[in-house]
Amino acid sequence: MMTEVIQQKVRPRRSVGVERTSRGGFVAPLGAAIRDLGSAVDSSIRGRVAPALRRRRLKRLYSRVEASRRRPSPFSLSLAGSGGAAEAVADDPILGGIRAFSRYLFFLGTAFAAVFLVYSAVAGGAFLPLSGTDDFFLPQQGEIEDLLRSYVEPPSPEVLAGDMKSPDPLRFAALSLSSRSIGRGDTISGIARSAGLNLDTIVSLNKIEDVRRVPVGAALKIPNQNGILYTVRRGDSLSGISRTFNVGMNALADVNNLESATIHPGQELFIPGARMKPLELKKVLGELFIFPTLGRITSGFGPRNDPFTGVRRFHNGIDIAGPMGAPVNAAMAGKVVKIDFHPTYGRYVILSHPSGYQTWYAHLNKAETTQGATVAQGEMIGRMGNTGYSTGTHLHFSVFKNGSPVDPMTFLR
């Protein structure tokens, strides 16, 4: 009874498998052809190598197969496992030949597919559609180029028109200078404007360090074109200067009347079209720093007598007296790097600025910013107070350059 049940469960699976294979159309003939070819290959190989051994093995194999067919045991399917099936496949010359030949066909098909894909990509042909419900095509070579072009913005008409303009003759004209004296009421910016030049051109060419200290009657050199004066340093080359300022070497040579590309340290070159750095120009104009608060300067920069002990000490900033709680503003745009309290300087704020500058605001009653914040020039960062070692309500203001104190009054207007 149990044997019949197991046979009913096993045999239909075999018949279903045969039915599915027969529906494949060309699968059954292809399987028969592969079996015949495998058998022929296997027979040829085995016939040449060991015909006697082959015959004995075939007899034993066939005898086992016939015996198993005469005495089918339903329990042998579950007890034999995959190991017995593997041994049968390994001993069967027909199945072994089929497996070897199928591996050969798989390798050959894979290699052919790879060559086909590479050739299609190089030749720019379309790929065959992949199996599935949706067809998938890679674009042709021309379509790829069109796709790339679609992500590149075409140049505007203004750019195209600018490319067709003739070069500015002043960019290659030799430098020529005229002179003008500063009259009463004249300003450097006004003189530059009347000459049609940038302010930094006049400042750089005349080596002005502070426009507020140029005396009346001083003679200014007025060039025929915009640019700045550059002093050659050790290690400089004409090609390096050309790259730094984005100016052609021919323009540099023509403007400065150079007969060769050889330059030497200390030599002064006029760089046509170049501009000063904004911080350098602000420093010359007296706009690099602004007064941090309103009030009266009660102590200056340099040596002084200590107000408590009378001992002469160095004062690294200026003191500005004012009312309690008066706004204290950033003298220069920068970043808040420190907010703390010191027994001598009380509550203080330190700002860091470009070009190695730092500013220090001490004796504050309250800080109105946070550490790590970025502040603009003139933005409130605290309120005036009397904290720490102090004789009255005031602000101690210091300017440091690369860690060394400098007189704030050289920058303040």
Residue-level pLDDT, tens digit, the chain, 413 residues: 444 444 444 444 444 443 444 444 444 555 566 666 666 655 655 555 455 555 666 666 666 656 655 554 444 444 344 444 444 444 555 656 666 666 767 767 777 777 666 665 555 444 434 334 333 333 344 443 343 333 333 444 433 333 333 444 445 578 899 999 999 988 899 999 999 999 999 999 999 988 888 899 999 999 999 999 999 999 999 999 999 999 988 889 999 999 888 999 999 999 999 999 988 888 888 888 999 999 999 999 999 887 777 788 889 999 999 999 999 999 999 999 999 999 989 999 999 999 899 999 999 999 999 999 999 999 999 999 999 988 899 999 999 999 899 999 988 86
pLDDT of residue 246: 92
Looking at 117, 134, 165, the residue that finishes a domain is: 165
Q: Assess if residue 290 is contained within a domain.
A: no
Say if residue 223 is exposed, middle or buried (CB neighbours under 10 Å; 0-12, 13-18, 19+). Answer: buried
Neighbours of 10 (CB within 10 A): 13
Q: Which two tokens stand for residue 201?
A: 């051109």
161 in the same domain as 177: no
Q: Assess if residue 134 is contained within a domain.
A: yes
Angle in degrees, CA 359, 363, 368, rounded to 5: 70
DSSP 168: P
pLDDT of residue 3: 43
From CA 327, how far away is CA 294, in angstroms rounded? 8
Q: Assess if residue 239 is contained within a domain.
A: yes
3-state secondary structure 214-250: CCCCCEEEEECCCEEEEECCCCCCHHHHHHHHCCCHH
Angle in degrees, CA 211, 215, 216, rounded to 5: 115
Domain of residue 224, residue span? 169-285
352 in the same domain as 366: yes
Question: Using an 8 Å Cβ cutoff, are 245 and 271 in contact?
Answer: yes
Q: Assess if residue 184 is contained within a domain.
A: yes
From CA 250, how far away is CA 258, in angstroms rounded? 9
pLDDT of residue 412: 83
Q: Which two tokens stand for residue 179?
A: 């002179």
Q: Which of 77, 67, 82, 81 is nearest to 5 (CA)?
A: 77
Rounded (10°) angle between helices 93-123 and 27-49: 120
Looking at 237, 252, 285, the residue that finishes a domain is: 285
224 in the same domain as 150: no
49 in the same domain as 186: no
Q: Return phi, psi of residue 169, to 5°.
A: -65, -25
Question: Using an 8 Å Cβ cutoff, are 398 and 359 in contact?
Answer: yes
Residue with tokens 């082959």: 54
Question: Using an 8 Å Cβ cutoff, are 360 and 350 in contact?
Answer: yes
Looking at 285, 312, 341, the residue that finishes a domain is: 285
Residue with tokens 């034993």: 60
Q: Assess if residue 237 is contained within a domain.
A: yes
98 in the same domain as 41: yes
Q: Assess if residue 30 is contained within a domain.
A: yes
From CA 35, how far away is CA 99, in angstroms rounded? 10
Encode burial over 286-297: b for 16+ CB neighbours within 10 A, e otherwise.
bbbbebbbebee
Question: Using an 8 Å Cβ cutoff, are 406 and 392 in contact?
Answer: no
139 in the same domain as 107: yes
Counting every residue written for the chain, the total comes to 413
Q: What is the CATH number of the domain that holds 363?
A: 2.70.70.10
Q: What is the CATH number of the domain that holds 280?
A: 3.10.350.10
pLDDT of residue 278: 87
From CA 311, how far away is CA 198, in angstroms rounded? 51
pLDDT of residue 388: 92
26 in the same domain as 86: yes
110 in the same domain as 10: yes
263 in the same domain as 156: no
194 in the same domain as 160: no
Structural domains in the chain (count) = 3
359 in the same domain as 316: yes
308 in the same domain as 263: no
From CA 320, how far away is CA 292, in angstroms rounded? 9
Q: Which of 314, 410, 313, 395 is nearest to 360 (CA)?
A: 395
